[in-house]
Structure 1
Amino acid sequence: MSKIAFIGLGIMGLPMAGNLIDAGHEVTGYNHAVERTEQLAERGARIADSSAAAAEQAEVICLMVPDSPDVEQVLTGEGGVFGAARPGSLIIDFSSIRPDVSAALAARAAEHDLTMIDAPVSGGEAGAIDGTLSIMVGGSPEAFARAEPVLNAVGSTIVHVGPNGAGQTVKAANQLMVAGHLQVLAEALAFLEAYGADTTAALRVLGGGLAGSKVLALKGEAMRERSFAPGFRIDLHHKDLGIVTTAARGADVILPLGSQLAALMASARAAGDGELDHSALFRGVLRANGRPLE
């Protein structure tokens, strides 16, 4: 079992760190919001007062923070991981960030005799709690093999997809597809409601056919009930679609629907829905149709 530092104990990070404890790993946690570290301490973790303090004695250092600047700050900022970690340590970045930033940070890690992989996840809060996340891993085959015992404790579909940065590229594609599923589900539900259909029955039968998807299974009822407690916030999906559109532009790839999805997500955020679950895209469809939001 490994000595693991886990930095970033939000909606996803806290249950992931808990699953590592349950798997027998020795976990030291750090989060800027103290109440999150207290919850992890109740599960048996040690608590550090900084990222550097968490990383000092760790063999594996896990990150789950919101965006590219956050990862850069944790790793390279004053009191950061690069200056504190022991040579030979493995860094697993579970965050969803820009592929080019991820690859550049991995190169900088190597200058400090550290190995880094990008391992963004999909599956939302439920997958983090259940340890069933899908994990797309970028890095060397040797680093991937070294990381597998940790990855197996938090995920069930774990695939090495290429060199450093490749995991983030696949995650960007994942977020594009999820946003498309959410928007089409929202529009279908608005259509069903307009005709007075039994939406419970409708979602059930749609889920059993070709229209079925994990998005429908996990988000359909929440949309129907107008229940948007955050599992994955609009703000974060807005950030991820920015990664998609920027990366696509850099590769001269045209994403007609992707660009529109990015605009719809930005519109939901501008309307004040940024802290809600990304299934709250449904509220944008309701607004467009002049229908009540509750």
Structure 2
Amino acid sequence: MAKCGFIGMGIMGEPMARNLLKAGHDLVIWNRSASKTNALADEGAVVVGSPKEVGENSDYVFICVTNSGDVVDVINGSEQVHGLSKGLRPGMIVVDHSTISPDVTREIYADLSDLQVSLIDAPVSGGDKGAIAGTLSIMCGGDEDSLQKVMPLLESMGKQITHCGPSGAGQTVKLCNQIAVCINNFALAEALVFCTLNQVDPAVMLEAISAGAAGSWQISNLGPQIIQRDFSPGFKVGLQRKDLHLAIDAADSVNMPLLGTALVDRMFAVAEGIHGSDAGTQALITALEQLANTEVKSSS
């Protein structure tokens, strides 16, 4: 069994780390808010005091934090925290599951290469349900040889694991995923509001279209939550907007306008104003409801 370290015990990170533990691997963990390590500590994980100590006690280190700056801080450290890079040894592999800038990923890859450490960027899709079930889609960038070494570990957390290309390619594909997801979410919201205004039960509409060409993960998972007025997060509005801004910035660098993505980001801004950044992305519906002066809910 492998000696694994995991940094970041959020909605995604904790269940992903738990699946490594369930697979029988040794697990060392660290989180900025120490209280979030308690559950896994009770299940057998070893809690340490810094990212550096995670590196010192692992052969493979997994990171799942919020943004580019957080990943840089975890690796380089700060005045308060000793960084992961201080605990790494030649031959180790770091896997970053965070969704961050492809450019920042390539910079980290170069820095770790100087230490003879490999970096795999491996952002994920599938929400908290996929993280819990171990059925995530994992989009990987980096060296093929390093990816093959960690593949058995990734298979504890994901079902679809794709090598997308060199360093940064995993992040690029994740941003493609977020573009498609957010516009699909917006289309679902429009359909639900349109349906409601035309006095058709939205639950009936969802049942009818989910088996046809419109069927999607969004319709099957977020649709029922919307009509039940359940805006609890599988993925948070604030994180969705962060990812959309990454995509828009990356598109700007190649002179491509993401018109639909920019529009949906503005609608998410309205939803964030209503519900806050911790609401689930299905709360996007409320921005359209406000424009249409209606509320989507099942009549059955």
Normalised to the residue count of structure 2, the TM-score between the two structures is 0.95
Give the aligned partner of residue 25 of structure 2: 25
Q: How far off is 1:292 after superposition? A: 4.9
Give the aligned partner of residue 37 of structure 2: 37
**2:123 aligned with 1:114:** no
Q: How far off is 1:194 after superposition? A: 1.5
CA distance in 1, matches of 2:273, 2:58: 41
Give the aligned partner of residue 256 of structure 1: 259
- Comparing 78-87 with 180-189, greater Cα deviation is found at 78-87
Give the aligned partner of residue 10 of structure 1: 10
**2:79 aligned with 1:76:** no
Q: How far off is 1:35 after superposition? A: 2.8
Q: How far off is 1:293 after superposition? A: 8.3
8 Å CA contact 1:57–1:86 kept in 2: the answer is no
Q: How far off is 1:238 after superposition? A: 0.3
Counterpart selection for 2:157 from 147, 154, 157: 154
8 Å CA contact 2:123–2:138 kept in 1: the answer is yes
Counterpart selection for 1:233 from 229, 233, 236: 236
Give the aligned partner of residue 276 of structure 1: 279
8 Å CA contact 1:57–1:85 kept in 2: the answer is no
- Counterparts of 1:138-287 in structure 2, within 5 Å, are 138-287=141-290
Q: How far off is 1:76 after superposition? A: 1.2
CA distance in 2, matches of 1:32, 1:288: 40
8 Å CA contact 2:188–2:223 kept in 1: the answer is yes
Q: Which runs of at least 4 in structure 1 moved beyond 6 Å after TM superposition?
A: none
8 Å CA contact 2:236–2:277 kept in 1: the answer is yes
8 Å CA contact 2:6–2:27 kept in 1: the answer is yes
User: Any unmatched runs of 5+ in structure 2?
Assistant: none
Q: How far off is 1:205 after superposition? A: 1.3
SS in 1 for 2:156: helix
The amino acid across from 1:143 in the alignment is S
Q: How far off is 1:207 after superposition? A: 0.4
CA distance in 1, matches of 2:296, 2:216: 25
CA distance in 2, matches of 1:198, 1:269: 26
CA root-mean-square deviation: 1.3
8 Å CA contact 2:4–2:61 kept in 1: the answer is yes
The amino acid across from 2:76 in the alignment is T
- Comparing 187-196 with 243-252, greater Cα deviation is found at 187-196
Q: How far off is 1:24 after superposition? A: 1.1
Q: How far off is 1:263 after superposition? A: 1.9
- Comparing 269-278 with 111-120, greater Cα deviation is found at 269-278
Counterpart selection for 1:86 from 86, 89, 109: 89
**2:105 aligned with 1:105:** no
Identity %: 36
Give the aligned partner of residue 54 of structure 2: 54
Q: How far off is 1:27 after superposition? A: 0.6
Normalised to the residue count of structure 1, the TM-score between the two structures is 0.97
8 Å CA contact 1:273–1:280 kept in 2: the answer is no
CA distance in 1, matches of 2:76, 2:33: 21
CA distance in 2, matches of 1:117, 1:274: 29
CA distance in 2, matches of 1:17, 1:135: 14
The amino acid across from 1:121 in the alignment is V
